[in-house]
Amino acid sequence: MTVSESPYSILIVEDEPKLAQLLIDYLQASGYQTHWLADGAEVSHCVKQQHYDLILLDLMLPVKDGITVCKELRQFSDIPIIMVTAKTEEVDRLLGLEIGADDYICKPYSPREVVARVKTLLRRFYRPQDIVQSDKLVVIDEQAYQIQYNNKILDLTTAEFRLLKALATQPGKILTRDQLMDHLYDDYRIVTDRTIDSHIKNLRRKLEQLNDQIEFIRSIYGQGYRWETQAYRFR
């Protein structure tokens, strides 16, 4: 695990400690945050609980192999995945790509090549406007139920603010409507999917007043909603 100034966080799933450390060293040297798991059992749970921008996923893992992990991830996340394996047969590469991997690299590999692949994939998946520059933070004021962006203040209803807070504190993570419902009200009133969609629609309309060039909230078909920008802070 590392601390870095890079906005990008890489999850490394590799059962060989020396190889994992090699990847960590090279990725850190390139300015990335890293987190390492030695088997596939906890990958889905970690991705649901923590934001990552890309996964380096070994194919041959203990407990749960990379193919199974990739299938699980694709049920709820479109996070970029690079499969890493000692297998070189075309059928293995094709299988990895068919189940949702975005790239494939075979052992033995050059760590510099891995870093280059990571950079390329991140550029492909994350447009420049997806990462708001540090001088244009989305500021979330919990006391006033307001957000501020680029010196513009936006007033929100209590429901809108709670939805925004739930999404913005987990950038890149898909939240289902059921998960968002849990954040909406303190009482036990009945809330439907349509209620969530209506609040999201109003929230988007207000966010467009801050910057109509940034898609702050993205709809993920059949799954839910995802906060697209990473730069935010509370006050």
**Which domains are present in the chain?**
9-126 (3.40.50.2300), 134-234 (1.10.10.10)
> Distance of alpha carbon 205 from its chain centroid, rounded?
23
DSSP letter for each residue of the chain: ----S-S-EEEEE-S-HHHHHHHHHHHHHTT-EEEEESSSTTHHHHHHHS--SEEEEESS-SSS-HHHHHHHHTTT----EEEEES---HHHHHHHHHTT-SEEEESS--HHHHHHHHHHHHHHHS-GGGS--GGG-EEEETTTTEEEETTEEEE--HHHHHHHHHHHTSTT-EE-HHHHHHHH-SS-----HHHHHHHHHHHHHHHHHH-TTS--EEEETTTEEEE----EEE-
Give 64-123 pLDDT, tens digit per residue: 999 899 999 988 888 899 998 876 655 565 666 777 888 888 888 899 999 999 988 888
Question: At residue 36, does pLDDT exceed 50?
Answer: yes
- Over residues 176-205, the pLDDT tens digits come to 888 888 777 665 566 677 888 888 998 888
pLDDT beyond 80 at 148 = no
Confidence of residue 10 (pLDDT cuts 50, 70, 90): very high
Burial category of 28 from C-beta neighbours within 10 Å (exposed 0-12, middle 13-18, buried 19 and up): middle
User: Model-level pTM?
Assistant: 0.54
Give per-residue pLDDT as tens, 22-35.
999 999 998 899 99
Question: Of 170 and 2, which is predicted with more confidence?
Answer: 170
**Would the pLDDT of 229 be above 60?**
yes
